[in-house]
Structure 1
Amino acid sequence: MDPKRELTSVDLAALVGELGAYEGAKVDKAYLYGDDLVRLKMRDFDRGRLELVLEVGEIKRAHTVAPERIPDAPGRPPQFAMMLRNRLSGADFAGVEQYEFDRILEFVFERDDGTTRIIVELFGQGNVAVTDGEYEVIDSLETVRLKSRTVVPGSRYEFPDSRINPLTVSREVFDREMEDSDTDVVRTLATQLNFGGLYAEEVCTRAGVEKGMGIDDADEAVYDRLYEAIERLALDLRNGNFEPRLYLEEPAEGDDGGDGGDDGTDSNAENARVVDATPFPLEEHAELAADPYDSFLSALDDYFFRLELEDEEEPDPTDQRPDFEEEIAKHERIIEQQQGAIEGFEQQADELRDQAELLYAEYGLVDDILSTIQNAREQDRPWDEIEERFAEGADQGIEAAEAVVGIDNSEGMVTVDIDGERIDLAAQQGVEQNADRLYTEAKRVEEKKEGALAAIENTRTDLEEAKRRRDEWEATDQDEADDAEEEDDGQDRDWLAAPSIPIRENEPWFDRFRWFHTSDGYLVIGGRNADQNEELVKKYLEPGDTVFHTQAHGGPVTVLKATDPSEASSSDIELPDSSIEEAAQFAVTYSSVWKDGRYAGDVYAVDSDQVTKTPESGEYLEKGGFAIRGDRTYHRDTPVAVAVGIQCEPYTRVIGGPPSAVEGQAETTIELEPGRYAQADAAKRLYRRFREEFADESFVRKIASPDRIQHFMPPGGSRIKEE
């Protein structure tokens, strides 16, 4: 049985209720991993740190994740993540809804300056669209332009066409849809009633109806049983009558399976693999081993965590040597995450103890607040009136009233601000009881830390075992490894077909500029804006360098370096014509010429000593501008051209620049020309093409995200050449 990789409509209907329990949580930060996983880091006043993940790639899911399982944050936040941070930082989570019975979730966040909606499409290619309160699209991971609907920045978000919701369908409509079908019962439920395969079969099983029964053979009694089964399912979803299960399948005979049990579940099948997680037990899964869970969210967290581990551990039959490095790196990542969780627990426990001590330090103030509420409640005063009285007192400058931030009448809690620290108090308890509650919670968090410490020791044991097996392998097969190395000498490796490509990162000093190395090995750097143009001329321009600039306004300062900044400068180096031509093409490509949709432009070149920041008398130089003294060498009608590629050695990274330079340095390249796709959209198209070319798709996700590809693309619209 293949494991589930996408949440069903029934899953989402169950998730909405559980996620709604976190309403009021505040957003701290947003992250984007690759081009398909959004992470929202939030704070819930009752539960502490909260991590929400929204993934819309090959895996399609939306659920909370234990903090210790969160991967390290990407080093360079992409534009989409920065947009989310600007809109959501400090915002309150106001709720989540499922759109009809479709695989779409709409998360709503409120802040004083407006509403933000995150609409997650967990079907098809998947998408995450961010809109304002009126559903105007701010940005989206994917741009959708179909006859039926459009999702593009600046337009109103359009939901897919409405379909029948089987959880609310009337009996009359149900009968009509069934009778209009020309296939069997289970397929009709799956397609016409939108249940999907699994739950269509489950409804048939619960109703005692043969799945393969033809519609012509189904009578009124069959319809009665099916409709009753659907009503019971809908009632369980509406009322939250869940008994979550994580289902496992034991490997076939002769299959070693996975190592199992890493997530702490109680399954007796040591080598069983996860295949599904459901909000309640399914008769269709009666033959599978099952682990019960307290919540569907925790079941999904464990399910997808174990699924990812199993995917990573899946052996590659073409690779004779186990990938010890990847296994060791995985354990090291887990240890780093567990250490982060331990530090988080320590910080949370310290904060809770500090809050308790603050209550005693401001005993009189806190007691005044609690006594006021308790006396008012004894007089049967409503909560709204109590909150209004505190607001009036705050306006009058009464210290106790000013400390009250808010009152939650549903829970009987009052939030106070003491010395800049917000503390939630149980209104019907005294100062000592509230302090004891905080101390008890701190102790509970400390116990969680002890559990994490035990877990990290187990992971360290696994790490040492992996290292031991690696050393043993290398010791016993050293001779064969040496022979293989000799055979490989002088031969090029087929990186595109390699099942696993090691990451060798290097971030050079010029990486924040536009840059490329010419086919002769010389470095060319260009400014991205006026500040960088200024910096290049003032800091990095050396004797012997050549400066290029387009005749058209709006081009970058482009410098063909004769030497590296760490080397002694020299004006005696004669730069090759090929490098000069590539630098000229680079200058025109990344200028307004490309942005205007033109295919060629004029470029001039001057020596470094002809460039000055001192204007002529009576003239003024703008920021990033410079003056030229002496004659210029013109390169007329220089064609625009750029290729973006992925380099595998000596470093693994994205590179870009003139095709003649990039093609000799990258394992694979894609050439662009001016076109109709916005820069971000074109970058995503390149990303998908690169993923198709490499056998190791995870390698592309790690080093060539759309945001990193965009770093090497000219400003303005583009398209893949000959596409």
Structure 2
Amino acid sequence: MDQKRELTSVDLVALTAELNGLQGAKVDKVYLYGDDLVRLKMRDFDRGRVELLVEVGDTKRAHVAAPEHVPDAPGRPPNFAKMLRNRLSGADFHEVRQHGFDRILEFEFRREDQDTTIVAELFGDGNVAVLDQNGEVVDCLDTVRLQSRTVAPGSQYGFPSARVNPLDLDYEAFAAKMRDSDTDLVRTLATQLNFGGLYAEELCTRAGVEKTKDIEAATEDDFRALYDASERLLDAIRAGDLDPRVYYEPGEDGEDRGERVDVTPMALEEYADRPSEAFENFNDALDDYFTNLDTTEEEEGGEAATRPDFEAEIEKQKRIIQQQEQAIEDFEAQAETEREKAEALYGHYDLVDDLLSTVRDAREAGHAWQDIADTLDDAKGDVPGADAFAGVNEAEGTVRVRVDDHTIELRPEDGVEKNADRLYTEAKRIEEKKEGARAAIENTREDLEAAKQRRDEWEAEPEEERDEEEEDEDVDWLSRASIPIRKQEQWYERFRWFRTSEGFLVLGGRNADQNEELVKNYMDRYDRFFHSQAHGGPITVLKTSAPSEPSNDIEVPEASKRQAAQFAVCCSSVWKDGRGAGDAYMVSPDQVSKTPESGEYLEKGGFAVRGDRTYFRDLPAEWAVGIACEPHTRVLGGPIDAVVDQVETHIEIEPGRYAQGDAAKRIYREFRERFADDSFVRKVASPDEIQKYMPPGGSRIRD
């Protein structure tokens, strides 16, 4: 018999009742082991230390563990664990709920400033999602984007489609579900009524009916006996009338019992012939079972849970480098293709010129695009240039030409030279992206070397010192007498920039030249373009991919969009004019053009925007400037919601009467008072450096 590795829906009915006895316990600390085991260290007035484990990997479980069964503290916490600590430290455990009859638990925590719910998905691939009080995902271990539901930061948490809940069925509904089946009794209970295989067999045994009897041969007496058996089982579990057991394989060589194979909240008739051990409560039984579960196979594939998975991080960085190297090759091929197209135009100059002239004359004569296409298709072999004709794009007003194995889209009104120049310019733009990819590879190689160094340092460090380091990992940087300076320059730092609360990079031009550069060189097809309604604002681009990566169509959470729009407003004349709020809009890159409307003129750094816009109204002119101490020491600035979780300390500002330089000096003095290491502030956050991360115009510190 295979060992049980996942809790069943029936198990969770029993478990939630016991866990709710912990209401009022306070969270001290949260740990994440690997990418699937969350540990919540709590303290209860009556019980003292309480250790709640939630695992969602190959093993799927949730229970309170004895302190001696808790894995040793891991190394430096990842961002997910840090986020949980920020939200849950000092919070009260309020309750745990099972979602319907699904293998989903909702752990609700309450704190004076905010409530947090942890959703543990103990089915399928498993997942843990952290929700705010509005049900929006703050973060999750794995992102899920399906047609039926979404689990991603910034989106509303989507539960799976509701399944039948036998707890809610009366006899008539139960019998109707059974009759609708086309299989036997036990399979119907397991799949249609969602009891699962073990408890479906248990109900048949308790009801005294033949498990494999076909539904068509079953009688009302069979259905009634099964319903009554399920009611007795579920009523006893809900009432807390439990008899928790850990079951074993029969022993060999004269032993009474072998390895543990199952854990249940009730003694089961299906296991009557198996050795078992009774426990006072279900949590203790779960703790005993999963602590002694044979995970040898899993451990052979990786390190123990207490050791950070350095190899996974190293392999990840290697994969990124491979992708970046492939991107460079792709950029080189794309640039070469654009140059070949331009040279092909000149190589067939007369042919292409005749075709463009023919199309241009026909358009000036009032002929429709489709009529022109039909005429040229019919005239191939007779009209000059018709043989090179490959079609038209009526929406874009272009004609497609086929020369030297290249299909090229051309603007008839531009002639051969301008069309060729456009292709050469595009080749140059792609070449510039290749240079950005090369710079990104160097950064990734540094990250790879840093991961290797962390691994080497861990392996060289005596094991007994690691627990001490863990206790000190949440460093109080403000009170430290000396803070190490760790800087890493990034390619985007010459622009205005910040990262949203979901990690998206947002860029803004500091002048007209940078506005032009952002759109031409750094805005890809799936990015988002923002601009304030007020004049004088920067071109703002929310990046959905790095310059070294292929552009992908991904969903951008609403919170990130709003933060990018607020950034555009704060960096516009709204701030300079001392207004408290402003509007901004968002469009896709294909709606942005350097071609003005007829009779209009675009200044340098200006662009024409066509089509529908998504508006963000009454965005507050509020800003935060903060200092980050890890993983890199630096000043950060941007919308308050985006900045606060990325820095050690921050100062909020709004439009005011102090010139930007004077306001930066006031912020600098405030930071120096907050840090014990004032030399650190002087080196990292000088007034000149702070000024780079402030909106243009006068400011004041908010009360």
The bucket for the TM-score relative to the shorter chain is 0.3 to 0.5
TM-score when normalising by structure 2: 0.46
